[in-house]
Amino acid sequence: MSAVPSVSYSITVRLEVPAGGAAVSQLTSAVEHAGGTITALDVTASGHERLRIDVTCAARDTEHSDVLVAAMSAVPGVVIGKVSDRTFLMHLGGKIEMRSKHPIRNRDDLSMIYTPGVARVSLAIAKNKEDARRLTSKRNSIAVITDGSAVLGLGNIGPEAALPVMEGKAALFSRFAEIDAWPLCLDTQDVEEIISVVKAVSPGFAGINLEDISAPRCFEIEARLREMLDIPVFHDDQHGTAIVVLAALYNALRVVDKPIDSVNIVMSGAGAAGTAVIKLLLSAGVQHLVVADIAGVVHPGREGITGQLAWLAAHTNKLGLTGTLKDAIVGADVFIGVSAPGLLTGDDIAKMADRAIVFALANPDPEVDPAEASQHAEVVATGRSDFPNQINNVLAFPGVFRGLLDAHSSEITTSMLLAAAKALASVVTDEELNASYIMPSVFHVDVHHTVATAVRRAAGGPAELPTDTEVTL
């Protein structure tokens, strides 16, 4: 539940009140006393005796929305009409669409856009498949693919329920990087089928963005597709998370004046996101890192260490620590959580080193209450938008793919991920940097261009983008 009213639970209530008198001010008071926040109040019709008003207010959750409506209906003379959930209204009919880039006004247009003219373009591509990047939407298109098995924090809710999330992802690609992203929600959770389907549809895309596929299957799916395909395969839950966490760490370490190769980092979470974060942190020069999961600290002697856990046990925890997360965090410089809510308390954070850094990224409820953590740690970040220092994947994935597409890259490498993280961190200048501002806003004018440029150059693309002025056949 959101601790404070949120636009995510915003409703608009159409109601009628008596003209004149104190009904409007009573409405405002009723909503405020019920814990809501009025964000707009619009008179949509007026008569001598009655006013029709649209009241828009933010609630804490769905149940709280009902409480606010009940509070308004209790005001004398108020008649409740239609109640609209603004979030659901935004999703009606979906959030994305396909548009033609050229008008089809007459037979000449039709003959060039479709038959018979299109046949010449098809024959040119048949002779040279690489021309598909120049002559079709492939050059700027990616597939956003999920099986619905690990959607947000909602779990295995299936492909249909995943579609609103994938549409949202596609909308963000368009808004922040001018990329055409197409959501493909697969009605299978079989590894072989997923790989087969993605391989089959890949000719129409210049990149693949895997999304919300549960671990450990996501590791195999991504690895095998990278081997099979000649286009980059990016798993945002892994690599997008890793980029933004590393960028935030770079800047948090600037605040506390500690070098990355000397800090002691403790992580909670050894799933897809946690594993990717750990691998990128190690590539960035981190030397001292311990990870814990639900069974405690990961180390080679622990029972049941197989698969990715075996890799983590072999590459982390150089001092051979055992015990629980609470044991490991004592004296640590940095805590990074990508796991579950409420694992730590303010007392646990108090046992960390001086000038500690806490990234509590479980969403919507973090591993430790940010207010409690802030009493003891110098820098605190979460995945939420209602606290300072939001660490959000949307800071990374649009620019990363823009850079990959502009470079015509056939793969994505660790050096590109590192370049993206450094570029993202650099957007926050020395003059702007402080303990409450280590990450830029997703709407910062420089974020996505800076990340795209860094990835493009790391991928071996041109220093400056050429402008297409003609087509040579």
Helix and strand numbers (H, E) in the chain are 18, 14
Give the type of residue at 258. Answer: K
Q: How many CB atoms lie under 10 A from the CB of residue 423?
A: 26
Contact 412/461 with Cβ under 8 angstroms?
Answer: no
What gap in Å lies between CA 421 and CA 246, rounded to an integer? Answer: 6
- Verify whether residue 437 is a known catalytic residue: no
CA dist 394 to 233, 319, 441, 444, Å?
17, 35, 10, 12
Closest C-alpha to 438, from 223, 271, 256, 305:
256
439 token code pair: 């990450």
**Residue 355 CA to chain centroid, in angstroms?**
28
SS3 state of residue 51: strand
Give the type of residue at 319. Answer: L
Catalytic residue among 9, 138, 169, 422: 169
Q: How many CB atoms lie under 10 A from the CB of residue 229?
A: 19
What gap in Å lies between CA 358 and CA 395, rounded to an integer? Answer: 19
Q: Classify strands 141-146 and 264-268 as parallel, antiparallel or unpaired.
A: unpaired
Please spell the DSSP secondary structure of 164-229, one letter per residue.
HHHHHHHHHHHHHH--EEEEEE-S---HHHHHHHHHHHGGG-SEEEE-S--TTHHHHHHHHHHHH-
What gap in Å lies between CA 65 and CA 85, rounded to an integer? Answer: 9
SS3 state of residue 284: coil
Closest C-alpha to 403, from 462, 340, 456, 461:
456
Instruction: Name the strand (E) or helix (H) holding 370.
Output: helix 370-374
Q: Length of the chain, please? A: 473
Give the type of residue at 220. Answer: E
379 token code pair: 């820098």
Phi and psi at 53, nearest 5°, equal: -130, 140
- Verify whether residue 101 is a known catalytic residue: no
Q: Beta strands of 331-468 (E only): which ranges?
A: 334-337, 357-360, 379-382
Phi and psi at 184, nearest 5°, equal: -125, 105
Active-site residue set:
114, 169
